[in-house]
Structure 1
Amino acid sequence: MATKQHEYGLPTQSSKPTPPPSTATNPPTHPPDKYEPFSSVTRNALSHALAESSATLAPADMDALMAAYDTLSLFPDAGPLLAHLESAPHIHPVIFSNGTAAMIAGSLAQSADLAPHAHVFRQVVVVEPVERFKPCAEVYRYLCGEVGKRGREGEVWLVSSNPFDVVGAKAVGIRTCWVDRSGVGWADRLVVGSEGRPDLVVKGLDEVVGGIEGWMGT
C-alpha cells in the first residue's frame, strides 16, 4: 500500500522524489465510443415514446412513420429565405445536419415544400463521417474543412433555432445567427458571457440574409 508520501510524490527517507506513475506503460482505459446514426436514434426515440405511452405500432406502421419524417413541411418563413438565396450567387448555402446523408437526400427529394428548392444548396454536410453529434466541436471543425474554411472559421455563418447548435459553433469560432421564432430572447446559460451568445438574433428565416449583411456592413 502506498504511503502518503508516495501518494503525493513527496520525498521519501532516501530524499529521492517519487516519479509520477507512467502512463506510457499503463495507459488509462476508457470504454469504446459508441455511435448510432441519427436514423437509428430517431427510431429508438419513437420506440421509447410508444413504450412510455403504453402504445404499440406494427413494424410496417413504424416504417411508414419514419418515412414521413422525410416529407415534413417547412416553416412559413423558409420560403422567402430560399427564394432570396436563389438570387444571391455570392452566398454558399450548405445544409449541415445531425441527420444521415440518406435522411437529408430523402427530404430534398420527397418533401413537397423543400424539393423545389433543393438546387439552392451547394453542399450537404452531415456528421456521419465524424461519428459525433452536434454540439461536439469536432463536427463544426469538420464542417469548416468541408466548405474550405478551415482556419477561417469566422467566415462561416451557422443559422439555427437550437441554442445548443449556436453554442457549439461559437466554441470553434463560427459566426452564429439564432432564429428566435418565439420572441422570448436568448435564455441559454450553458456558456456564460459573449462566447455563449449568438452574434445575431432574428425573428424568422426571412430576416437572415439582411441581418447578416447588416451585421457585416455589406
Structure 2
Amino acid sequence: MNTNALFQLSYGLYVAASKFDTKMNGCIVNTVMQVTSNPLQIAVAVNKENLTCEIIQKSNMVSLSVLSETAPFSLFKHFGFQSGRETDKFVDYPFTMTGQELPYLKEHTSAFIDCKVINTVDLGTHMLFICSVNDCDVISDEKAMTYSYYHEFVKPKPEASTTKGWRCIVCGYVYEGEELPPDFICPWCKHGIEDFEKIV
C-alpha cells in the first residue's frame, strides 16, 4: 500500500483554539470540513496529546483561524512544534476574540469560525469534534493555504545529511537510529511512523 496516495486529498491548515477558565491554547490542525449546511456544522480532528484537545473537551468550544498563504513557517513552528503546557501560544501573536471569547489570529488568516461542540468521536490517536457554527466571517482577501502549498512553498526543504535514521515528512524531525520503533510518535507534530521516511 502506498500511503502517499492520501497526500492527493485536499486539506487546509488552521489554528484550532479554545479557552477554559483563564487558559487559552491553540494548535495546528489540517482536518476541518463542513459536514452539513442546515444546520451549519463542521468537523474538526485534533490529536489527543495536544493541550488544545483537552481544553476543547472541557469547554465544548473551538475557534478556527483559516491560515492564509502569507503564513510564515515560524507560525507553524510556534503553534505546531511546541506544547502550550510549556509556553503561552498567544503571547506574541496578535489575536482577537470571538463571541464565545475564544482567540483567533488577526494576521495571516483569511477567515475565522466560532463553534460549539455538539458531539465527539474517539478516533484512537485523535478526537473528532462535530460542531455547530455560532459565527464566522472572512477577515482578509488572502488565499487560504492548502497542505500542498505549505509543503511546496512554506516548509523548509531538508538539507543533505550524513545522519542515519528517519525523517518526519510532516515537520522534518529526525529520529537517529537504524530502526524506527513501531509505536514511535513524532515529538514535534505528533504523527506516527507512517509519516516517516528513511534517510538514505
Regarding TM over 0.5, the answer is: no
Structure 1 length as normaliser, TM-score? 0.22
Structure 2 length as normaliser, TM-score? 0.23
Going by fraction, where is strand more abundant, 1 or 2?
A: 2
Going by fraction, where is helix more abundant, 1 or 2?
A: 1
Structure number with larger C-alpha Rg: 1
Bigger RCO of structures 1 and 2 (CA < 8 A, at least 6 apart): 2
